[in-house]
Amino acid sequence: MRAIRTRSQEKILTLLQSMKQGISAQDIYVELRNRNQSMGLATVYRSLEALKLEGLVQVRTLANGEALYSLVQQDKHHLTCLQCGASIPIHQCPVHDLEDQLQVTHKFKIFYHTLEFFGLCTKCQMNHGQ
């Protein structure tokens, strides 16, 4: 059953479809204004929350606390450097079987998962003297 979406939610979905990577709520607000589709920042947050609960939008929180929103396509996995913020995608996923088991054993509908490892990239290790 598809939920009825507001015009604001549809505008945000359309915008996210055109993005190659995650984008912050603040940047969504600015981008919509640039496209003459302005809406209030509170509306952006409300719409993102509704889309998240519908399983259409995923949120990834960076080490600095910034939340990035993107369409749920495939699960994303990253190595993230705590010093420079570099984010290296990992393409193999070790937890798909676990996800399937959890859906069955807990009767829990999983929309997506993220897997993120934090540490120092090679460049920052060298600068750190390690």
pLDDT by residue for the chain (130 residues), tens only, comes to 556 889 999 999 999 998 888 899 999 999 999 999 989 999 999 999 999 999 899 898 887 888 999 998 766 788 888 889 888 888 788 788 898 899 999 999 888 887 888 899 999 999 876 5
Shared-domain flag, residues 79 and 69: no
Q: Are 54 and 72 in contact (CB under 8 A)?
A: no
Shared-domain flag, residues 66 and 85: no
Shared-domain flag, residues 97 and 62: no
Name the residue range of residue 105's domain: 74-130
Model confidence, pTM:
0.66
Shared-domain flag, residues 7 and 66: yes
Q: How many domains would you assign to the chain?
A: 2
DSSP state letter for 23: B
DSSP secondary structure, 60-121, as one string: EE-TTS-EEEEE--S-EEEEEETTT--EEE----S-HHHHHHHHHHTT------EEEEEE--
Burial (0-12, 13-18, 19+ Cβ within 10 Å), 100: exposed
